[in-house]
């Protein structure tokens, strides 16, 4: 498996958790069975970190969503943003550019036509203000 695939699994499980309102440990177990040690380590850090810092991540999205009310954002986009913002702020081993690019690619694959550019713009604002957000 690759980091890109592990990130996609994190996104899918964050989305599931966002929709269901709680972590489904059975889904987590199924999704991570085929991961090697490095991918499992990444998964554990990022997925569990997002769950732990969900309120802070939501606060950041609200701050940079500009004219969009958080409740009106697509849950898919929220899940993508949670992953990317968590990586930008808390995963020092992942370059900001990689997190943003992977988020845009996830948006292209799983969200609306306009979501990729919206997510890219919001993440650009987060990256620009990273030091103030940590």
pLDDT in tens, 39-90: 999 999 999 999 999 999 999 999 999 877 888 899 999 999 999 999 999 9
**What's the predicted TM-score (pTM) here?**
0.94
What are the CA-CA distances from residue 111 to residues 67, 72, 104, 119 (Å)? 19, 14, 10, 10
Q: pLDDT tens for residues 7-19?
A: 999 999 999 999 9
Count of the separate structural domains present in the chain = 1
Beta carbons within 8 Å of 80's beta carbon, 6+ residues apart: 11, 103, 106, 107, 110, 111, 115, 119
CA 14 distance to own-chain centroid: 7
Residue 122 sits in a domain whose CATH number is 1.10.940.10
Could you list the residue range(s) of the whole structural domain that residue 125 is in?
3-133
DSSP state of 114: T
């Amino acid at each position: 498996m690759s980091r890109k695939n592990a990130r996609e699994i994190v996104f899918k499980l964050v989305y599931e958790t966002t929709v269901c309102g709680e972590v489904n440990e059975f889904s987590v177990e199924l999704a991570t069975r085929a991961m090697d040690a490095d991918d499992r380590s990444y998964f554990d850090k990022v997925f569990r970190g997002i769950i732990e810092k969900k309120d802070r991540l939501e606060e950041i999205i609200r701050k940079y969503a500009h004219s969009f009310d958080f409740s009106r954002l697509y849950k898919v986009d929220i899940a993508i943003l949670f992953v990317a913002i968590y990586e930008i702020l808390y995963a020092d081993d992942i370059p900001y550019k990689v997190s943003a690019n992977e988020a845009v690619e996830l948006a292209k694959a799983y969200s609306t036509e306009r979501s990729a550019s919206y997510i890219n713009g919001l993440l650009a604002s987060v990256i620009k203000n990273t030091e103030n957000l940590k």
